[in-house]
């Protein structure tokens, strides 16, 4: 294991924030990961595991050990009449896994095409898009305890997935490092095209026969037209979660703002489109120096060139305060602030 000193993290975070790590290492196997964690424990220094760095905001230099996850590999664990269980190492790039599934005709994650980042982070916030979340296809995972070094497995139930939530973001926050995830995919597909934008795009593409490839293509087209590419403008996707309010609050808001966009949850609560709230509070395209609110998608905060973490956080605070003042609704960041 090689521990490097004072390494720039700019290439390792999709916001493109110029911050550095006091110590930095790469791990390509579980024993290497355990060794790195033991080193941090011995040195009494904090550790931060990163995959693609596409859901973090660095406030300042990281005064600890950054561990870049490079655990690679796929393994078919089990095949049944209509399913296959595929174990994927945490350092694999998520979209490459989607492409692997398309190639092998494994259905279930085609709606999640083009989400940046690595497989290891996919259960962290139960990634989701266009009507599908990973919990719909998640079978289990293996993780290493950060301080004790032992490995344990988690079932779907034990992960307690919710909207952009899992145990790894709350009760077990900073306790475990995920080393592999097993997905249960279907070999006879069930298509999810309820999301209006997908249907419209499939029509535009004149798709006559529905397939997982066609859905992935539609999703890729929609995402590419809406979301800024981190290679061009630094960002971490949606900066805030869509806020959930009860029916009563929703009715009051709807009366005051008839165009408000919202979706009903299974429990009757309403998920409000935060992008709509931010845009109609006048902040879409707002910019202060190199930090701003994206001009096409108000839920995405951006770094045009050289914004610092605190400058992005200033915009975050402005958005939260403005939205609260106008609608009485509290926004919470989705991005992990380090
Ligand atoms: P990182 O940013 O490296 O890490 C995120 C957090 O997880 C950090 O706290 C990190 O310490 C922790 N972590 C990382 N790996 C592990 C591990 N192996 N074990 C334990 N903890 C770990 N998300 C969606 O849900 N849906 C979307 O549609 C979506 N679209 C996006 C679009 C863009 C343009 C961008 C930039 C981001 C988008 N995201 C979306 C957010 C992001 O892609 C996901 O959250 C992704 O899962 C992050 O993966 P990562 O490897 O980059 O995680
Ligand atoms: N909207 C506006 N103005 C905006 C942005 C959006 O009015 O500036 C409206 C849209 O017109 C639409 C509604 O808000 O009616 C929802 O917009 P969109 O379909 O773009 O989805 P979103 O709620 O902004 C969520 C996820 C995305 C995911 C998409 C597609 C969250 C926090 N974000 O975005 O996930 O890709 O749906 O399913 O749930 C991410 O988590 O990083 C992410 C990008």
Say what the pTM is. Answer: 0.97
Instruction: Please name the residue whose Cα sits nearest to atom 5 of ligand 2.
Output: 275
Instruction: Please name the residue whose Cα sits nearest to atom 6 of ligand 2.
Output: 275
Give the model's pLDDT for residue 196.
Answer: 84
Ramachandran quadrant class, 315 (left: phi over 0; alpha: psi -120 to 50; beta: rest): alpha
Pick the CATH number of 234-337 from 3.40.50.10260, 1.20.810.10, 3.90.78.10, 3.30.830.10: 3.90.78.10
Cite the beta strand spans of the chain per DSSP E.
4-8, 20-27, 47-50, 56-57, 62-69, 74-79, 83-89, 128-129, 132-133, 138-145, 151-155, 176-186, 234-238, 244-245, 262-264, 270-272, 287-288, 291-293, 300-303, 336-337
Give the model's pLDDT for residue 10.
Answer: 98
Please report, in tens digits, the pLDDT of each residue of the chain (338 residues total).
899 999 999 999 999 999 999 999 999 999 999 999 999 999 999 999 999 999 999 999 999 999 999 999 999 999 999 999 999 999 999 999 999 999 999 999 999 999 999 999 999 999 999 999 999 999 999 999 999 999 999 999 999 999 999 999 999 999 999 999 999 999 999 999 988 899 999 999 999 899 999 999 999 999 999 999 999 999 999 999 999 999 999 999 999 999 999 999 999 999 999 999 999 999 999 999 999 999 999 999 999 999 999 999 999 999 999 999 999 999 999 999 99
| Residue boundaries of the structural domains of the chain | 4-69, 74-186, 234-337
Say if ligand 1 is within 6 A of residue 230 CB: yes
Question: Using an 8 Å Cβ cutoff, are 26 and 68 in contact?
Answer: yes
From the CA of 195, the nearest ligand is: 2
Phi, psi (5° rounding) for residue 291?
A: -105, 145
Q: Do 234-337 and 4-69 fall under one CATH topology?
A: no
Q: Which CATH number applies to 4-69?
A: 3.30.43.10
Q: How far is the CA of 227 from the centre of ligand 2 (A)?
A: 9
Say if ligand 1 is within 6 A of residue 9 CB: no
Say if ligand 2 is within 6 A of residue 241 CB: yes
Say if ligand 1 is within 6 A of residue 37 CB: no
Which residues are marked as active site? 164, 238, 334
Give the model's pLDDT for residue 212.
Answer: 98
Q: How far is the CA of 181 from the centre of ligand 2 (A)?
A: 26
Instruction: Please name the residue whose Cα sits nearest to atom 27 of ligand 2.
Output: 129
Q: Which CATH number applies to 74-186?
A: 3.30.465.10
Give the model's pLDDT for residue 321.
Answer: 98
Say if ligand 2 is within 6 A of residue 124 CB: no
Instruction: Please name the residue whose Cα sits nearest to atom 11 of ligand 2.
Output: 276
Give the model's pLDDT for residue 208.
Answer: 84
Kindly report the CA angle at 186 between 151 and 129, in degrees rounded to 5?
75
Phi, psi (5° rounding) for residue 112?
A: -105, 20
């Amino acid at each position: 294991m090689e521990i490097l000193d004072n390494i720039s993290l700019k290439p390792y975070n999709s916001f493109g924030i110029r911050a550095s790590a006091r110590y930095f290492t790469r791990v390509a196997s579980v024993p290497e990961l355990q060794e790195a964690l033991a080193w941090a424990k011995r040195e009494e220094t904090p550790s931060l595991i990163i995959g693609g760095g596409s859901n973090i905001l660095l406030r300042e230099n990281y005064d600890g050990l950054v561990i870049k996850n490079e655990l690679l590999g796929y393994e078919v664990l089990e095949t049944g009449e209509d399913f296959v269980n595929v174990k994927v190492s945490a350092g694999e790039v998520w979209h490459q896994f989607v492409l692997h599934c398309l190639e092998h005709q494994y259905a279930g994650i085609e709606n999640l095409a083009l989400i940046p980042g690595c497989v290891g982070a996919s259960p962290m916030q139960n990634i989701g898009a266009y009507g599908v979340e990973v919990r719909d296809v998640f079978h289990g995972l293996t993780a290493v305890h950060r301080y004790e070094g032992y490995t344990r497995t988690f079932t779907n139930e034990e992960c307690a997935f919710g909207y952009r939530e899992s145990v790894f973001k709350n009760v077990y926050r900073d306790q475990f490092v995920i080393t592999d995830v097993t997905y249960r995919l279907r070999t006879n597909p069930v298509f999810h095209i309820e999301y209006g934008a997908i249907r419209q795009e499939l029509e535009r593409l004149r798709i006559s026969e529905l397939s997982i490839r066609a859905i992935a293509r539609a999703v890729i087209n929609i995402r590419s037209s809406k979301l800024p590419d981190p290679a061009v403008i630094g960002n971490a996707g949606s900066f805030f979660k869509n806020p959930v309010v009860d029916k009563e609050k929703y009715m009051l808001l709807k009366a005051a703002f008839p165009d408000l966009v919202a979706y009903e949850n299974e429990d009757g609560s309403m998920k409000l489109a935060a992008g709509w709230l931010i845009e109609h509070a006048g902040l879409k395209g707002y910019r202060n120096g190199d930090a701003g609110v994206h001009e096409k998608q108000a839920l995405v905060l951006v770094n045009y060139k050289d914004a610092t973490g605190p400058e992005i956080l200033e915009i975050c605070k402005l958005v939260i305060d403005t939205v609260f003042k106008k609608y009485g609704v509290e926004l919470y960041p989705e991005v992990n602030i380090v």
